[in-house]
């Protein structure tokens, strides 16, 4: 009897704990779906039946007249933002209240590889961002471009060898971007285009292949952060990755090697010495910010290389392969892209180079249109750093409330883009693009101080890969190609498709 009573008490306490916040949005008059214990309004996500992107899209469409929509990730209140003016407040105007992404459920126990520029929050983020921003100047990117060209040429050669059969465009472009990251990030020749069993490619696939065990760990850390704070999400590849970076640093004697790759840039950052910034978290009694200092340790360097590798290859391969998919179903647009490629490359002896890529405006517009229809990151996330009131709504939210900006929904809303289901690159050409109308709607790389630091690098490598393929091949639907591919419901931050994107790559015959 006593045991049964204790069990009932424990169940009751856990239930009360998991539902303690469920009246948060009701009290504030914010519309939302009814939450359920443990899962909140994200039960489909926790059960791996629906991606967070699709969940946000569904909420966006269900409440068309609301500026914001309430959401519960387990017991944590979050706010889905539908209004561009409020998005502007969050990303730029009132950034001081929304600088965290809130991706680490427990603030004081952060996995080593998660101490990177994307996942870090607060002063750690500010220190990293200040030191690393100069590493992505136009001059640095231009110096890195020969490494891009070499991998793009390999992409052409490899595609020619295997183009007699349908190819998964997603896998092909993932191998290209993996090789690019290997060269530009690590100074290594990954050669995953030619090596089917490339260790680098397997590592990249493992990072984004969410296992049931990882999903359970992530859920437990969100639902019970204090209890499961020491559980590691990245344990299956953390040791190998840190060892790899350490060995490369030792080979270079902890000094830039002249390769102009990402590790060289990080070593240059480290050689500048201690990083000093004004805190965004801690204030002195007189109201002025405290001064924060930090050294770039070997572990921190490894964490930055990790996110450069993970984010760089996955987002670019998603965006470039979907661009090819759309061009395969729009041959007239593909012909216009190829005509531009031929004209531009003819000016540069038919060789890819930094200046040639900058002139491929229609190709860039096609790529941007593909990212509009299917952004690699289907949503942006922020967290309220301290109590904040939205003046448009007279709504006050507390520290720790999550923010979701549903890019997939915004990018495909006819209020901002006419005929959003239509693939039309012209809408991004300078003569037609209405920047003011879509300023805080079209956000494939984010915006504000936490916008993607590698946006220009990602654009450069993506356009180079597309130019390499489309200058030599015409892409067409394969017999098993789905006109509207199905999104993988297990997708987390970066979206992917079930069963890939199979296409035919037909070698071009130029007159």
Q: Which residues fall in the annotated binding site for heme?
A: 452
Q: 3-state SS of 190-206? A: CCCCCCCCCHHHHHHHH
CA distances from 497 to 165, 326, 374 (A): 20, 14, 11
CA distances from 465 to 75, 233, 260 (A): 43, 32, 20
SS3 content of the chain, % helix, strand, coil (to 5): 50, 10, 35
Instruction: At 57, list the tokens.
Output: 């899209």
DSSP category for residue 185: I
Question: Distance between alpha carbon 269 and the CA centroid of its chain, in Å?
Answer: 24
Q: Is 231 helix (H, G, I), strand (E, B) or coil?
A: coil
Which H or E run contains 455?
helix 455-472
Q: Is 404 helix (H, G, I), strand (E, B) or coil?
A: strand
The Cβ-side half-sphere exposure at 456, using a 13 Å CA radius, reads 15
d(CA 501, CA 486): 10
Which H or E run contains 86?
helix 84-88
CA distances from 485 to 125, 325, 374, 480, 497 (A): 36, 10, 11, 11, 6
CA distances from 250 to 240, 246, 257 (A): 15, 6, 11
Choose among 329, 393, 405: nearest CA to 25.
Answer: 393
Q: Which residues are annotated as a binding site?
A: 452
Alpha helices (runs of H) in 35-83, residue ranges in sequence order = 43-46, 52-62
Backbone dihedral angles phi then psi of residue 203, each to the nearest 5 degrees: -65, -45
């Amino acid at each position: 009897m006593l045991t049964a009573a204790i069990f009932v008490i424990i169940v009751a306490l856990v239930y009360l704990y998991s539902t303690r916040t469920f009246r948060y949005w009701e009290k504030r008059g914010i519309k939302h779906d009814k939450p359920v214990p443990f899962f909140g309004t994200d039960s489909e996500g926790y059960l791996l039946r629906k991606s967070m992107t699709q969940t946000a899209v569904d909420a966006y469409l269900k409440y068309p007249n609301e500026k914001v929509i309430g959401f519960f990730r387990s017991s944590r209140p979050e706010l889905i933002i539908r209004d561009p003016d409020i998005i502007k407040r969050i990303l730029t105007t009132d950034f001081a209240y929304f600088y965290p992404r809130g991706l680490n459920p427990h603030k004081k126990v952060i996995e080593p590889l998660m101490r990177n520029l994307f996942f870090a929050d607060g002063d750690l983020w500010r220190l990293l961002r200040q030191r690393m921003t100069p590493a992505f100047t136009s001059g640095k990117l231009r110096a890195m471009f020969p490494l891009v060209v070499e991998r793009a040429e390999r992409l052409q050669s490899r595609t020619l060898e295997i183009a007699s059969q349908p190819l998964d465009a997603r896998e092909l472009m993932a191998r290209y971007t993996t090789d690019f990251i290997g060269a530009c990030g690590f100074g290594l020749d990954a050669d995953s285009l030619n090596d089917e069993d490339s260790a680098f490619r397997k590592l990249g696939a493992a990072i984004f292949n969410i296992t049931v065990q990882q999903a359970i760990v992530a859920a437990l850390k969100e639902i019970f952060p204090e209890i499961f704070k020491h559980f590691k999400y990245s344990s299956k590849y953390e040791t190998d990755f840190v060892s790899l970076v350490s060995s490369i640093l030792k080979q270079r004697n902890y000094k830039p090697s002249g390769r102009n790759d990402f590790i060289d840039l990080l070593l240059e950052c480290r050689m500048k010495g201690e990083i000093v910034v004004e805190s965004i978290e801690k204030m002195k009694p007189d109201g002025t910010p405290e001064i924060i200092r930090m050294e770039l340790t070997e572990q921190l360097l490894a964490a930055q290389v990790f996110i450069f590798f993970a984010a760089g290859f996955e987002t670019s391969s998603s965006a470039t392969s979907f661009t090819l998919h759309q061009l395969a179903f729009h041959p007239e647009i593909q012909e216009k892209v190829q005509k531009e490629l031929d004209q531009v490359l003819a000016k540069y002896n038919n060789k890819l180079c930094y200046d040639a890529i900058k002139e491929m405006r229609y190709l860039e517009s096609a790529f941007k249109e593909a990212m509009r229809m299917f952004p690699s990151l289907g949503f942006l996330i922020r967290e309220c750093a301290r109590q904040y009131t939205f003046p448009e709504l007279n709504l006050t939210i507390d520290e720790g409330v999550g923010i979701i900006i549903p890019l997939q929904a915004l990018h495909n809303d006819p209020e901002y883009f006419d005929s959003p289901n239509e693939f039309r690159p012209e809408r991004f050409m300078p003569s037609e693009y209405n920047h003011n109308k879509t300023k805080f709607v079209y956000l494939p790389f984010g915006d504000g101080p936490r916008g993607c630091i590698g946006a220009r690098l990602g654009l450069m490598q993506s356009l180079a890969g597309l130019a390499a393929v489309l200058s030599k091949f015409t892409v067409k639907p394969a017999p098993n190609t789905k006109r509207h591919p199905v999104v993988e419901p297990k997708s987390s931050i970066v979206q992917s498709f079930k069963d890939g994107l199979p296409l035919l790559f037909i070698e071009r015959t130029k007159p």
